[in-house]
């Protein structure tokens, strides 16, 4: 009788273990609030987060806004009003300050919130369990160091003027302050001097308008270098410089970040370099962090960054990164701009 009970207990234990494993493998549901898929970087981010969620058997709903915090706030209200809550919210605010009310509303539901792309600040860190995304400081620092490298080469060739202008994100955007401060730190002590900046906004059109303004304002002082807070902005800026009569790569040396511009600009020497911020990795990292949180109830690291190597004409054919899915990706697959041959 005792032996039979032991056998029964063993069978029940095995059954309970199977049920437990089955429950732990149950699909996680995620709601992600982010910008539009039509923008190249965000489009690849969405591919990364959706494909990796599918790989893990997770359900994910993505709400896109057109870089409008008001639109994103409305989407949050609609999701909360529906009354069907996910296991995790993913929060990429259009404006971290203006969107604080919506983030607070998400957190009040009791559903954990992962902030992405823009680093946590003193106001919002109490509402999130962690961060996943790019290191704004590192990418700007790498851009600054590349510019210092380019300036040294220019000086060796006889150049005597090293004035820099910057075309940037809006100053209200979370990554602006971190980026401009890190860039300034990187060029400190070199011959480079930042003489002006303009924060017209995201994308090529705003980069063009912003550069036209800064050229008109500072041309007489001499502009020798231009730093783009991302390559999409920089691509528009370079067009404005060329229309103003500058020969890029000769009269003005350009350095960008994010790798969402045009490969041809680097190949032709119009842009000295950029840094590889992979949106595919960013999307994959989000799911990796959700998986870790759901398994442990916390993250090992509160801040989790994607890699950010520098890219120039000298190494662009050999740069590759391993994804969080274990696959190796070439630069053409990782850059979000016009990088396919």
DSSP of 184-240: HHHHTTSS-EEEEEE---SHHHHHHHHHHHHHHHHGGG---EEEESSHHHHHHHHHH
Main-chain phi, psi angles of 97, to 5 degrees: -75, -50
What is the C-alpha separation between 32 and 64, in angstroms, rounded?
8
User: Which of 255, 277, 12, 72 has its CA nearest to residue 151?
Assistant: 255
| Predicted TM-score of the model (pTM) | 0.83
pLDDT of 314 reads 93
Residue closest to 31 by CA, chosen among 78, 73, 79: 79
- Cβ within 8 Å of residue 63, ≥6 positions away: 31, 32, 33, 34, 72, 75, 79
Cross-strand partners of 60: 30
Give the E-state strand segments of the chain in sequence order.
29-34, 59-64, 88-91, 113-116, 130-133, 163-167, 193-198, 225-228, 253-255, 273-275, 303-305, 310-312, 320-322, 328-330
CA dihedral of 130, 136, 138, 144, whole degrees rounded to 10: -170
pLDDT at residue number 17:
31
Cα 336 from Cα 341, distance rounded (Å): 13
Per residue in 278-313, pLDDT (tens digit) is: 999 999 999 999 999 999 999 999 999 999 999 999
**Parts of the chain with a pLDDT under 70:** 1-26, 341
Distance CA 41, CA 170 (A): 17
On whether the CB atoms of residues 275 and 139 are closer than 8 A, the answer is yes
Nearest partner of 338 among 235, 225, 255, judged by Cα:
235
pLDDT of residue 147: 98
Q: What is the pLDDT of residue 288?
A: 97
């Amino acid at each position: 009788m005792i032996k039979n009970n032991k056998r029964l207990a063993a069978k029940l234990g095995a059954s309970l273990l199977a049920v437990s494993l089955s429950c732990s493998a149950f699909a996680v549901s995620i709601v992600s609030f982010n910008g539009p898929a039509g923008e190249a970087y965000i489009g690849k981010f969405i591919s990364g987060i959706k494909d990796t969620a599918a790989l893990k058997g997770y359900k994910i709903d993505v709400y896109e806004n057109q870089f409008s915090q008001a639109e994103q706030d409305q989407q949050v209200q609609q999701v909360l009003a529906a009354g069907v809550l996910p296991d995790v919210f993913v929060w990429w605010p259009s404006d971290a300050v203006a969107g604080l009310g919506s983030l607070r509303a998400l957190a009040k539901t009791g559903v954990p919130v992962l902030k992405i792309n823009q680093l946590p600040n003193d106001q919002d860190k109490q509402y999130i369990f962690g961060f996943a995304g790019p290191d704004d400081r590192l990418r700007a620092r790498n851009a600054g160091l590349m510019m210092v490298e380019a300036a040294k080469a220019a000086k060796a060739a006889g150049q005597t003027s090293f004035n820099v202008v910057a075309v940037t994100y809006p100053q209200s955007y979370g990554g602006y302050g971190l980026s401009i401060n890190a860039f300034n730190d990187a060029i400190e002590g070199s011959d480079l001097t930042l003489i002006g900046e303009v924060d017209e906004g995201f994308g090529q059109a705003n980069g063009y308008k912003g550069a036209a303004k800064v050229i008109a304002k500072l041309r007489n002082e001499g502009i020798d270098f231009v730093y783009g807070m991302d390559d999409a902005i920089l691509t528009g800026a370079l067009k404005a410089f060329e229309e103003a009569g500058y020969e890029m790569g000769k009269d003005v040396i350009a350095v960008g970040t994010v790798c969402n511009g045009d490969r041809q600009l680097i190949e032709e020497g119009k842009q000295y370099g950029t840094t590889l911020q992979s949106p595919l990795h960013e999307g994959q990292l989000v799911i990796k962090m959700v998986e870790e949180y759901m398994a442990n109830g916390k993250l090992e690291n509160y801040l989790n960054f994607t890699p950010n190597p520098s890219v120039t004409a000298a190494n662009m054919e050999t740069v590759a990164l391993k994804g969080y899915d274990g696959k190796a990706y070439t630069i053409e697959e990782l850059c979000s701009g016009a990088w396919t041959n």
